[in-house]
């Protein structure tokens, strides 16, 4: 129930609609019951059990709020019509009242469905938005450890299951129970004796269904987890299709997919068996109770031991049979609700994760670099493995600093720590003497332009991919950034130029073209601090030299941090730091390091 209430909490400002839903549902139930109750006078007319002579003995009832008053008022007019206009006119009167009752019942039922649909759509919209918002706030470490397929499954298929559950829950938790209560109020009014007999059987029905529902909930949770794994395998296969074909491992990935698909199929089959058993069991037990009522009530009518007439008994049986419909509907809805609640628990497990990296109270805006960026005794451990060890590094304002070293030495991790994609395990990184945690994260990341060797392109225009995060960027500044990245001419040859839509990753573009677009994105806005993390690794020597010269010109008077394997791009750096196994092993200018004859000289010769 706690999960269900959390789901409903996402109804937002239209929660008040739930009151209108309750009102319209109750009115629909009431008019539906009026329609069924009219069967008694209808049958009495047809069986010639009502005579107009009884009118004189029945005064017009005085007004008071109760079912008895409504019954007496109807009987007064009904018998009056028989006495003055005959039995056929009375039959027409009952039929007209029934049509009006059916019309009003269906009208209010339709209004209730519209309100329920609006509530459901609003809940799912807000829930999915809240989930995506939370995902976008989570730290990078979460995405590294968590399977992307599982995140996608929770955002899409799990929310879809919740939507189905919402559709059924409005009926199972309010409409159907209210309908059942209404039916039994009328049944008690007609015959308390028979109704108590029927109620004695309800615990047997409810207990049997409860046992099945508990097992159904377990299978629902397992099924959603299996679906997440299946989605993850599919997502991996789509991303790595080139590798799958190049290494001829289609049989391996197909077997992996088939194994998980078989697990998911078995879980779904188990759920379907239990789901289909619930309505069958409730239907059988319902018919069993109905048969007992037929035997007991029928004997009362035939023996004339009570005032229970045949028309009243037939109406009672019809109403009771209609009362079984919402009971069956509840039992059928429970399987979908349980599956939705299992999905809801998975969703809220993700929503409840607290981001490891967030703004602290009073965080200030990072506007510009005045003095220096300082790494003091910085250590970073990831997944129990030390990546950075006791790093001491100073990047003075308006200086070009280079970081080189063997692969896996922790060079790229430095740029991630600087932009707070991760936080240091020990030590501190400072900007102008203040730790990074003192600054607002969004402003800090706008202060630093990062260009990496892997460029992610979104399904959008070339213009919007370059101007990502800068909606105010003008056409002139975007073209200027493209020229710096040596990609302007290529863009002009595209079908719609800068307005050409490119897809996610855009396989039609070469790696060099994608990286140039990434460089254009990074230099747009001329950030005070620019980090080049293997920014030209996908470019040929001529293009790399041309781009590097443009970047050097752009960053004159600004702070530049270059992380590179290609040592030709860093010869003119003000200072070069050589990183090995997460530690600075030597530093100095190119000439000084070459004279030392250490690791840097070995890398140059290599």
155-210: pLDDT as tens digits: 887 888 888 788 777 777 788 888 888 888 888 888 888 888 777 766 666 666 66
For residue 245, the model assigns a pLDDT of 65
Give the integer Cα–Cα distance in Å for 356 and 137.
9
Q: CB neighbours (10 Å) of residue 48? A: 8
Sequence-ordered alpha helix ranges (H) in 157-249 = 159-170, 176-190, 192-200, 202-239, 241-246
Say if residues 222 and 344 touch (Cβ distance below 8 Å).
no
Q: CB neighbours (10 Å) of residue 604? A: 14
* Residue from 362, 461, 359, 353 nearest 420 by CA: 359
Quick check: 57 pLDDT over 50?
A: no
The mean pLDDT of 491-510, rounded to a whole number, is 78
Q: Comparing 2-351 with 372-605, is the CATH topology the same? A: no
For residue 323, the model assigns a pLDDT of 78
> Dihedral angle at the C-alpha atoms of 132, 133, 134, 135, nearest 10 degrees?
50
Question: Which residues touch 487 (CB under 8 Å, ≥6 apart)?
Answer: 513, 516, 517, 519, 520
* Residue from 54, 46, 47 nearest 81 by CA: 54
For residue 141, the model assigns a pLDDT of 76
Distances in whole angstroms, Cα of residue 198 to Cα of each of 184, 278, 279, 298, 320: 10, 20, 18, 15, 9
40-49: pLDDT as tens digits: 666 665 555 5
CA 480 to chain centre: 40
Per-residue tokens: 375: 């790494």
DSSP per-residue string spanning 276-334: HHHHHHHHHHHHHHHHHHHHHHHHHHHHT-SS--HHHHHHHHHHHHHHHHHHHHHHHHH
Per-residue tokens: 170: 């409005």
The mean pLDDT of 550-579, rounded to a whole number, is 78
Say if residues 558 and 484 touch (Cβ distance below 8 Å).
no
Please tell me whether the overall predicted TM-score, pTM, comes out greater than 0.85 for this model: no
The mean pLDDT of 560-564, rounded to a whole number, is 84
For residue 213, the model assigns a pLDDT of 65
- pLDDT over 70 percentage in the chain: 83
Per-residue tokens: 529: 């601090």
Q: What are phi and psi of 258, to 5 degrees?
A: -65, -40
300-341: pLDDT as tens digits: 777 776 666 777 778 888 888 777 777 777 766 776 777 788
Question: Kind and range of the H or E element at 379?
Answer: strand 372-382
For residue 428, the model assigns a pLDDT of 93
The mean pLDDT of 350-364, rounded to a whole number, is 85
Where residue 497 falls (left for φ over 0; alpha for ψ -120 to 50; beta otherwise) is left
Tokens 């999905």, located at residue? 343
The mean pLDDT of 133-150, rounded to a whole number, is 77
The mean pLDDT of 435-449, rounded to a whole number, is 87
67-90: pLDDT as tens digits: 565 666 676 677 777 777 777 777
Quick check: 344 pLDDT over 80?
A: yes
Rg (CA), the chain: 37
DSSP per-residue string spanning 25-64: HHHHHHHHHHHHHTHHHHHHHHTT---GGGGGG-PPPPP-
Q: Residue 360 has what DSSP assignment?
A: P
524-549: pLDDT as tens digits: 877 888 888 876 666 777 777 777 77
User: pLDDT-based confidence at 230, cuts 50/70/90?
Assistant: confident
For residue 58, the model assigns a pLDDT of 53
Lowest mean pLDDT among 48-52, 71-75, 472-476: 48-52
Give the integer Cα–Cα distance in Å for 244 and 242.
6
Per-residue tokens: 507: 């396989």
For residue 54, the model assigns a pLDDT of 46
Distances in whole angstroms, Cα of residue 587 to Cα of each of 529, 532, 578, 590, 593: 21, 19, 6, 9, 7
Quick check: 496 pLDDT over 80?
A: yes
For residue 214, the model assigns a pLDDT of 66
3-state secondary structure of 239: helix
Q: Which residue has the higher pLDDT, 507 or 534?
A: 534
How does the average pLDDT of the chain come out, rounded?
Answer: 79
Sequence-ordered alpha helix ranges (H) in 437-500 = 441-447, 462-466, 475-484, 488-492
Domain ranges, ordered by start, for the chain: 2-351, 372-605
372-605 adopts what CATH topology?
A: Rossmann fold (3.40.50)
Quick check: 55 pLDDT over 50?
A: no
User: pLDDT-based confidence at 107, cuts 50/70/90?
Assistant: very high
Question: Which residues touch 214 (CB under 8 Å, ≥6 apart)?
Answer: none
The mean pLDDT of 36-40, rounded to a whole number, is 72
Question: Which residues touch 297 (CB under 8 Å, ≥6 apart)?
Answer: 191, 194, 308, 313, 316, 317
Q: What are phi and psi of 562, to 5 degrees?
A: -115, 125
CA atoms within 13 A on the CB side of 362: 1
Quick check: 53 pLDDT over 60?
A: no
For residue 256, the model assigns a pLDDT of 81
User: pLDDT-based confidence at 56, cuts 50/70/90?
Assistant: very low
Query: What sign does the dihedral 18-20-22-28 (CA atoms) show?
Result: negative
Lowest mean pLDDT among 5-9, 56-60, 117-121: 56-60
**Class of 2-351 per CATH?**
mainly alpha
Q: Which residue has the higher pLDDT, 181 or 220?
A: 181
Strand segments (E) across 436-548: 448-452, 460-461, 501-502, 529-533
CA-angle at 312, arms to 310 and 315, nearest 5°: 110
Q: Residue 497 has what DSSP assignment?
A: G
CA-angle at 512, arms to 511 and 513, nearest 5°: 95
For residue 447, the model assigns a pLDDT of 86
């Amino acid at each position: 129930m706690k999960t269900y209430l959390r789901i409903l909490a996402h109804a937002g400002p239209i929660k008040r609609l739930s009151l209108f839903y309750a009102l319209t549902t109750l009115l629909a139930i009431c008019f539906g019951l009026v329609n069924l109750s009219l069967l008694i006078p209808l049958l009495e007319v047809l069986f010639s059990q009502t005579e107009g002579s009884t009118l004189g003995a029945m005064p017009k009832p005085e007004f008071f709020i109760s079912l008895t008053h409504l019954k007496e008022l109807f009987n007064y007019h009904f018998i009056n019509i028989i006495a003055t206009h005959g039995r056929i006119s009375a039959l027409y009167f009952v039929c007209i009242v029934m049509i009006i009752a059916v019309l009003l019942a269906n009208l209010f039922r339709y209004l209730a469905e519209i309100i329920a649909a609006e509530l459901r759509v609003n809940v799912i919209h807000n829930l999915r938005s809240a989930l995506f918002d939370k995902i976008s706030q989570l730290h990078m470490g979460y995405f590294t450890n968590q399977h992307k397929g599982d995140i996608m499954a929770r955002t899409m298929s799990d929310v879809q299951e919740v939507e189905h559950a919402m559709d059924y829950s409005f009926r199972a938790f309010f409409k159907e129970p209210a309908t059942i209560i209404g039916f039994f109020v009328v049944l008690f009014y007609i015959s308390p004796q028979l109704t108590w007999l029927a109620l004695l059987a309800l615990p047997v029905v409810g207990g049997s269904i409860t046992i099945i529902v508990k097992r159904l909930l377990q299978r629902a949770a397992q099924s959603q987890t299996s679906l997440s794994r299946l989605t993850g395998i599919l997502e991996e296969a789509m991303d790595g299709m080139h590798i799958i074909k190049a290494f001829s491992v289609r049989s391996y990935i197909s077997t992996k997919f088939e194994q998980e698909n078989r697990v998911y199929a078995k879980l779904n089959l188990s759920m379907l068996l239990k789901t289909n058993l619930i309505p069958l069991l409730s239907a059988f037990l319902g018919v069993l109770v109905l048969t007992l009522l037929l035997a007991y009530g029928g004997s009362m009518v035939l023996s004339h031991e009570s005032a229970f007439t045949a028309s009243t008994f037939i109406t009672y049986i019809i109403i009771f049979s209609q009362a079984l419909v919402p009971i069956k509907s509840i039992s059928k809805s429970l399987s979908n609700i349980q599956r939705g609640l299992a999905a809801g628990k998975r969703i809220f497990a993700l929503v409840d994760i607290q981001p490891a990296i967030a703004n602290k109270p009073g965080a200030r805006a990072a506007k510009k670099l005045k003095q220096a960026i300082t790494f003091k005794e910085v250590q970073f451990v990831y997944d129990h493995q030390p990546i950075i060890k006791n790093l001491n590094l100073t990047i003075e304002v308006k200086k070009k600093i280079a970081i080189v070293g063997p692969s896996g030495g922790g060079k790229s991790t430095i740029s991630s720590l600087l932009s707070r994609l991760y936080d240091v395990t020990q030590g501190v990184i400072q900007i102008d003497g203040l730790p990074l945690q003192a600054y607002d994260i969004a402003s800090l990341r706008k202060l630093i332009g990062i260009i990496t060797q892997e460029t992610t392109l979104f399904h959008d225009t070339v213009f919007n991919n370059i101007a990502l995060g800068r909606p105010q960027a003008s056409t002139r500044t975007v073209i200027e950034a493209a020229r710096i990245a040596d990609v302007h001419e290529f863009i002009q040859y595209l079908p719609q130029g800068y307005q050409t839509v490119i897809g996610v990753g855009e396989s039609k573009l070469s790696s060099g073209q994608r990286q140039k677009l990434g460089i254009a994105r990074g230099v747009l806005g001329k950030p005070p601090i620019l980090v080049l993390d293997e920014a030209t690794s996908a470019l040929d020597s001529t293009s790399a030299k041309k781009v590097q010269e443009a970047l050097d010109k752009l960053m004159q008077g600004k702070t530049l941090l270059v992380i590179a394997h290609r040592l030709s791009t860093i010869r003119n750096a003000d200072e070069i730091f050589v990183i090995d196994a997460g530690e600075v092993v030597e530093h100095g200018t190119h000439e000084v390091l070459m004279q030392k004859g250490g690791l840097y000289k070995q890398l140059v010769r290599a």
